[in-house]
Structures are given as structure tokens and as C-alpha cells.
Amino acid sequence: MASEGDRRSDPEVAERRSRLLGGLRLEGEGARGVAIALISTAVFLVAIVVAVTQSAGWPEVRRTFFDWGDISGSFPDIARAFVLNVKIFLVCEVFILVLALVIAVLRSLQGPVFFPLRALAIIYSDLARGIPTILVIALLGFGAPALQLTGVPRSRVFWAGVGLVLVYSGYVAEVYRAGIESVHPSQEAAARSLGLSRFQALRRVILPQAIRRVIPPLLNDFIGLQKDTALVGTLGVIEAFNQSQIDTNATFTYGSYLAAAALFVALTIPLARLTDWLIARDRKRRQAAGGFA
Amino acid sequence: MSALKVEGVHKSFGPNEVLRGIDLELEDHEVVCLIGASGSGKSTLLRCVNLLEPLDAGRIFLAGEEITRRDVDSNSVRRRIGIVFQAFNLFPHMTVLRNVTLAPRDVLGLGRAEAEARGRELLARFGLEDRRDEYPDRLSGGQQQRVAIVRALAMQPELMLLDEVTSALDPELVAEVLSVIRELAAGGMTMLIATHEMSFARDIAHRVCFLEEGRILEQGPPHEIFAQPKEPRTQQFLERIIEAGRL
């Protein structure tokens, strides 16, 4: 990271550079710094390429993984299957945001009356985060439809989605809770002193500040969720990962894995950059406010 | 009937007994200043009156009605009492006008137009009209504290509690806040004011109470307390204040 002085001397250049490199910061000054960075990156990449292509197994790996015909041939099928991943992600995200908020609020309730609710929220968070996601999805995906309950969907995709919502709500609730606890108690005192009820104070004063502060870590959890939609494939549902496995079994090559990976990355990278941008904006705003907010 | 009556109030935080039997009565339109060293219980007393802290013992009456009974809705009591804090405690995610209209709209159920009209009028009265769309962190400390006073006034309280409202301000910003409080006193607002500004207390208070270790050791009109304090502890306290050049 550049020193304070560097950044202040030419903030615009530094800003442009950091945007180019997706948040990476360069040492040194101006064009010389950029040149050094480019050369060292090139040397580094060439070294890796040489090391890999000189390895004994490279011809075989190149044939099975890097056959352009395989990759591009499997792409349309996988892209179609990937639509399901995106749908699962989008629908689950909405439910996670709501359920996690409820859990976090329950956990933040004070007073002995609310002990059972608090305890429930803690147990939930512990379980949701303690059981491997793949197990939760298997248990629900195979178990819940087998119950043959009337009025309850039997779709495996549905139950896999329920599993993802349950698991991720445990994490996201902790993120919310950190946000709620970061709001100074004097804010609640000010709200209550005006006659607002506990719930009104929470809704109008505490949560808006808490949620604003935790948007970057929330997005971070959603990057994880995007990838974990691939776990739904373990139930035999045809989504991007499963489709790529089917292709692999047909061709005995692994190019389709790369195609699937490219699709996931294409979705996560914009989200990752958005997260970085929000964090940077938040930091700037804080500096401008002299640390008040 | 007094505006506020505090009777035998005790309050401890763990082993630390902060209030050890406070009795105090305020008449309508009376301005009472609480003075005393830090930790003498001034702020705790104000927080107890606003029901932000539960009492260990004692009773508090607002306009003759006991507000410390278990069956009293504390939200409906708090809307009748305004409190202003040392650290302003404005809501940083809301504009000045929204800070001022939040409680009138959500608590009193005023319509947006009515609440905003009331808010603008109050802001204009205290020279803050042009700041209404700013966020608190863009304001000076003195402006923030004036907004906090307006926010409390927007609820049209029967009683105002001011908790060392100038202690967090740069010296050059103290005057603008004090002049607002003077205006309130001139308008007949009943106020209980914890303060370190002795000359201000001498000017504005009808009565001054000296707190020491959770008790009101001495009280009386300012010219008596400041000129001829009877208690040796009060004398010592005022001597230290004078030495520090604050009186």
C-alpha cells in the first residue's frame, strides 16, 4: 500500500490505477511504477506458464482440460443450466435477508422476558453455521420430500433452496448483529427519549444505521451463496455443475468444468468489485465526516 | 401542583450508589440548575426523570401524576419530557428536518406536512432554517446541539432536561447554545439543567442545587448559593471553580 504522502500527492492517478487493477495498489510513483508493475507481472506469469507446460503431465492435462472445442461445445448447455443457479441465488437471497434480520433482531432483544427467543436465535445460529451446507441440503433435499406431507412442495430444488436459506441466514444474522451492536447505545437513548417505542427506535434509528454499515460483509456472504448454489447439483438437479459433470462423462474431458467455472466467476467478479467500491466509498465518507459517522 | 416532583430517589450502578435520596420540586416555568462535580449524580438524576434509568427507590411525579408506577407507559411519559444530551445524539442517517420531524410523525401521529411546518418554524426560530436538508455531520457542534434542542421542542414538551449541553462544544460555540436556552427560559419553559457553566447558571436559574455524592447538599436562589454558600463543601467546590477561572 502506498504511504499517506503518496496518496495525497496524486490521489487521482492512484485512484485510476487502483480502479484498473481492481483495488490493488501500486508502490512507487507515476509511469515508472506502472512499468515496473507490468514487467514484474509479465515475468511472474511467464514463469508459471513455463513451469506448467514443462511438467510431465502437461500434454495429457492440455488434452483433457484445455481443448477449446470441448469448452465452447459444452458452454451452451451449461449456460442454460446456469440459469437455474442464478434463479436459486436470487430467490434465496431475498428470503435470507428477511429471515436473518428477524433472527438478529430476536437475538438483540434485552430483558429476561425475551430469554427464550434469544436462546432460540443463538441455537439456530450455532446449528446453521455448524452443519456442513452439503449435509443440510442432502438432509432436506432427500428427507423432506420423502415425508410426503400434503401441501408441501416435493421438488428437490425447493428443498435445496430451503437448505441454503437456513444455512446462510445463520451467517447473515451474525453480520446483522454485528451491525446492530455497532450502533452506539446513545442513539437508542435519544430515540426512546423522544417517546419512540423500542420497536420504533429499532426500525427508524438503529437498523437503518446498522444495515448501512454491514452492506459490504453482506455482499461478501452473497458471493459465497452464488458459488454454493452448485451444491444443489448433489441432489441430481441439473444445474451448471451437474451439467458440466454430465458433459465430462460423455466426452471424458474436463473442459466443461472450465466453462462452468467461467460462468460462476463472471457472476461473482462484478459483485466482488461492487463490494470493494462500497467499502472504499464508506471509508471516504467517514474520512470526510471526520470520523463522526 | 408542581411541574415535577422527585421524592427520595435512589439509584445504584452495581456497587456504586450514584443517587442517595434526592428530593426536588419544580414549579411551572421554573428553571433549576444542578451544579456539582463530575460524578455527583446530575446526569443520572436527569436520566431517571426521563425514565431512561429505572429507580432503585423513590417516586417521581410529572404534573402531579406519578410516572414511576409500574403500570405507567414510559413511552407516553417520555413524549412529554424533552431531554438534550451532552453529545447531541442526533440521528446521523437523517437530515436535520427529518431528525426534527421523526418523533412528531411516528409518536404523535402528525401528518408529514404538519410535522414539517412545525419543524421548519422551530428551525427558523433558532437560525437553522437554511440547514434543514443537511446531514448532522456537516454541521458545527453548536448547530448540532441547537438542532437537538429543536428536536426535543418539536414534541412540545412540558419539561425540558438539559444534560451538560455545552460540555462537548468548542468555547466559541457555547454562546449560541446558551442563548437558545435563555430564549426558552424567557418563553416560560420549565427546565432542569445540569451544567458546568456557573455564570450561565447564575444568570438563568431561579434556583440552584448543589449536588455532592448523590445528595442535594444545598439549594437556593443563585445569588445566595454563589455569593454566600452555607455548606463548606459548596464553598470548596465554588472556590475550585473560581480558581479555574470559570466564574
Count of helix runs (H) and strand runs (E) in chain A:
13, 0
Grid coordinates given for A259: 466453462
Question: For residue A16, is pLDDT > 80?
Answer: no
DSSP for A130-198? HS-HHHHHHHHHHHHHHT--TTS---HHHHHHHHHHHHHHHHHHHHHHHHHHHS-HHHHHHHHHTT--H
Cβ contact B214:B220 at 8 Å: no
- Residue A3: predicted pLDDT: 41
For the cut 50, the answer to whether the pLDDT of residue B59 exceeds it is: yes
- pTM here is 0.81
More confident residue, A204 or A81: A204
pLDDT band with cut points at 50, 70 and 90 for residue A5: very low
Task: Supply the pLDDT for residue B88.
Answer: 94
Task: Please report, for chain B, the start and end positions of each structural domain, with discontinuous segments joined by +.
Answer: 4-243
**Nearest CA among A173, A239, A244 for reference residue A211:** A173
A191 touches B: beta carbon within 8 Å? yes
pLDDT tier at A286 (50, 70, 90 boundaries)?
A: low
Rg (CA), chain B: 18
**Cα separation, A62 vs A153, whole angstroms:** 44
Rg (Cα) of chain A, in Å, rounded? 24
Pairwise CB contact (< 8 Å): A194 & B152: yes
**Residue A196: pLDDT band with limits 50, 70, 90:** very high
| More confidently predicted of A4 and B233 | B233
A64-120 pLDDT, tens digit each: 888 788 788 888 888 888 999 999 999 999 999 999 999 999 998 888 889 999 999
CA-closest candidate to residue A29, choices A8, A49, A43: A8
Q: Over range B180-196, report the average pLDDT.
A: 94
Residue A28: which pLDDT band, with cuts at 50, 70 and 90?
low
The pLDDT value given to residue A79? 87
- How open is the CA angle B106-B110-B112, to the nearest 5 degrees? 90
pLDDT at B191: 97
pLDDT at A4 over 50: no
* Range of weakest confidence among A65-74, B32-41, B175-184, B226-235: A65-74
At residue A219, what is the residue type? L
Stated length of chain A: 293
Which stretches of chain B sit within 8 Å of chain A by CB?
50, 52, 75-76, 78-83, 85, 87, 89-93, 102-103, 106-107, 136-137, 151-152, 155
Strand partners for B159: B81, B190
How much is the pLDDT for B84? 96
The reported pLDDT for the residue numbered B194 is 96
Q: Which residue in chain B has the smallest CA separation from A185?
A: B89
User: Can you tell me the ipTM of this complex?
Assistant: 0.91
pLDDT digits (tens, 9 = 90+) for A124-177: 989 999 999 999 999 998 888 888 888 888 888 899 999 999 999 999 999 999
Q: How far is CA A111 from CA A38, A78, A118, A199, B173, in A?
A: 59, 52, 10, 14, 40
3-state helix, strand, coil in chain A (%, to 5): 85, 0, 15
Residue A15 predicted with pLDDT over 60 = no
pLDDT at position A292 over 80:
no
Residue in chain A nearest B94 by alpha carbon: A205
Specify the 3-state DSSP secondary structure of A218: helix
Higher-pLDDT residue of A251, A186: A186
The whole-angstrom distance between B122's CA and the closest CA on chain A is 16
The residue type of A248 is T
Closest CB from B78, B91, B137 relative to A193 = B78
Written in H, E and C, the secondary structure of chain B is CCCEEEEEEEEEECCEEEEEEEEEEECCCCEEEEECCCCCCHHHHHHHHCCCCCCCEEEEEECCEECCCCCCCHHHHHCCEEEECCCCCCCCCCCHHHHHHHHHHHCCCCCHHHHHHHHHHHHHHCCCHHHCCCCHHHCCHHHHHHHHHHHHHCCCCCEEEEECCCCCCCHHHHHHHHHHHHHHHHCCCEEEEECCCHHHHHHHCCEEEEEECCEEEEEECHHHHHHCCCCHHHHHHHHHHHHCCCC
Using the predicted structure, report yes or no on whether residue B163 has a pLDDT greater than 80: yes
* Mean pLDDT to the nearest integer, B51-68: 94
Query: Can you tell me the distance from the alpha carbon of B64 to that of B67, in angstroms, rounded to the nearest whole number?
Result: 9
pLDDT at A132: 94
Q: Which of A186, A197, A208 is the closest to B75 by Cβ?
A: A197
- Give the pLDDT score at A239: 86
Question: Is A2's pLDDT higher than 50?
Answer: no
Q: What is the DSSP letter of A66?
A: -
Residues on chain B touching A190 (C-beta within 8 angstroms): 85, 89-91
B22: left (phi over 0), alpha (psi -120 to 50) or beta: beta
Q: Which CATH number fits the domain B4-243, given the four candidates 3.40.640.10, 1.10.10.10, 1.10.1040.20, 3.40.50.300?
A: 3.40.50.300
Residue B242: what pLDDT?
85
pLDDT per position as a tens digit, A247-283: 888 888 888 888 889 999 998 888 889 888 888 887 7
In degrees, rounded to 5, the angle at the alpha carbon of residue B228 between the alpha carbons of residues B222 and B234 is 80
Identify the pLDDT of residue A23: 53
Strand partners, B62: B4, B65
A215 touching B, CB under 8 A? no
Place of cell 465518507: A285
Q: What is the mean pLDDT of residues B47-67?
A: 95
Residues 6 or more apart whose CB falls under 8 angstroms from that of A250 comprise: none
What pLDDT is attached to residue A8?
Answer: 41
Q: What was the pLDDT predicted at A29?
A: 65
The H or E element containing residue A269 is helix A255-288
Comparing CB atoms, the residue among A192, A208, A293 nearest residue B78 is: A192
